[in-house]
Amino acid sequence: MSPRAYRMGQRQADVEETRARIVAAARGQLGETGALSLDAVARRADVARATVYYQFGNKTGLLEAVCDALAAEGGMDRLAEVFTLTDPWAAVDRFVAVLGGFWAVDRVCTRRLRALAALDEEVGRVIADRDARRRQGAGVLTGRLTGVPEDAAAVLAVLTSFETFDALAAESGPGADLRTATPVVTRLVRAALGAPPGPSAKG
C-alpha cells in the first residue's frame, strides 16, 4: 500500500470513528434527557459543533443516522428475507419477530425519540417517514393474504408499532426485554387478521 493510500484509509477510518462517536453521543443524550441539542451532542462526543454539521448537515441528518444505527444494530436488514418467504402467514410472523428484535435494541432511546416526535416537527418528520416504511411493508404482506379484513395493513402496522411492544413488555415486569412481547403480538396479529389454525412463529 502506498503512503498516500494509507493516509486516505486512515483518514476515512477517523471520519467513521468520529461519526460513530457523535451518533453514540446523540443516543446517550436522548436516553438521558429526551432532547437533542447539537451543542450538547458535540460536547458529549468531544468534537466541535461545526464537526457535527460537517458530518450530518443538520439535526435531521443526525436523527437519520441515529435511526440507521438502531436499525443496523436491531437487524432490520433481515426484513429483506421476510418478503421472500413463500408462505404469506410465515412472512407475517417473521415480520413481527424482526420488528420485535429491532424495537428491543435501545428501548429508552426509542421511547424518547418517539415522544419527542410529538413535540418537535423535525423529529416528527423523521419518525413519520420510518413508520410509513413499516406501514408499506405491512401493506405488501397483508396484500398476499386471502380472507383478511380490509384494514388488515393498518391493523398489522399498529400491532407492530413500538408502542404496542413497549406496552405488552411492561406487563411482564419492569425492565422486561421487548422481545418477550413477540409471541403475544404474533398471536394478536393472527387473531385480528383471521389466520388459519396452526403453529405460529416464535421469533
Rounded Cα–Cα distance for residues 90 and 80 (Å): 14
The upper half-sphere exposure of residue 17, i.e. CA atoms within 13 Å in the direction of its Cβ, equals: 7
pLDDT in tens, 79-126: 999 999 999 999 999 999 999 999 999 999 999 999 999 999 999 999
Cβ 189 vs Cβ 100: under 8 Å: no
pLDDT in tens, 31-81: 999 999 999 999 999 999 999 999 999 999 999 999 999 999 999 999 999
pLDDT at 201: 46
pLDDT at 9: 61
Q: What's the predicted TM-score (pTM) here?
A: 0.87
Reported confidence tier of residue 8, pLDDT bands at 50, 70, 90? low
